[in-house]
Amino acid sequence: MSTSTRQLSIKAGVVTRLAKDVKGYRAEAEAQMAKVAQMEADSADEYELRAQRRVLAEGEAMVPDAEQRLAKAVADLEDLVASTEDELSASDEFKRAKEALQLAEST
């Protein structure tokens, strides 16, 4: 496996993982938001409600950070794909890198 192929494989894996992380953080924040809303509607104990709001704030704070890491990883992978397209366009790693970029776009 050449250095370029190895780099494609690594960077595609990073983009795929970060795209899944972003989706997971968003889903977690939405679920926590629903939980807090339900607790407010049920007039839950103020201490528990405050604790859940803190959890919600922490979850919402993770989303922008993960999105920034994903954007940087996507930029790195796009640069590598552009620079290796001529030599590696038929390889499986190149196809996986393209798929990872598509997954990141759908995030």
Contacts of 85 (CB under 8 A, 6+ apart): 94
| CATH number for the domain harbouring residue 95 | 1.20.58.90
- Copy the structure tokens of residue 105: 């776009």
* Reported confidence tier of residue 100, pLDDT bands at 50, 70, 90: very high
Report the percentage of the chain scoring pLDDT > 90.
Answer: 68
Q: Per residue in 58-87, pLDDT tens?
A: 989 999 999 999 999 999 999 999 998 888
Range(s) of the domain holding residue 11 = 3-105
| Cα 96 → chain centroid | 17
**Contact status, residue 8 vs residue 93, Cβ threshold 8 Å:** yes
Q: What is the pTM of this model?
A: 0.84
* Reported confidence tier of residue 19, pLDDT bands at 50, 70, 90: very high
Q: What are phi and psi of 35, to 5 degrees?
A: -65, -45
pLDDT of residue 1: 63
**Contact status, residue 66 vs residue 18, Cβ threshold 8 Å:** yes
Q: Per residue in 32-53, pLDDT tens?
A: 999 999 988 888 888 999 999 9
Q: How many domains would you assign to the chain?
A: 1
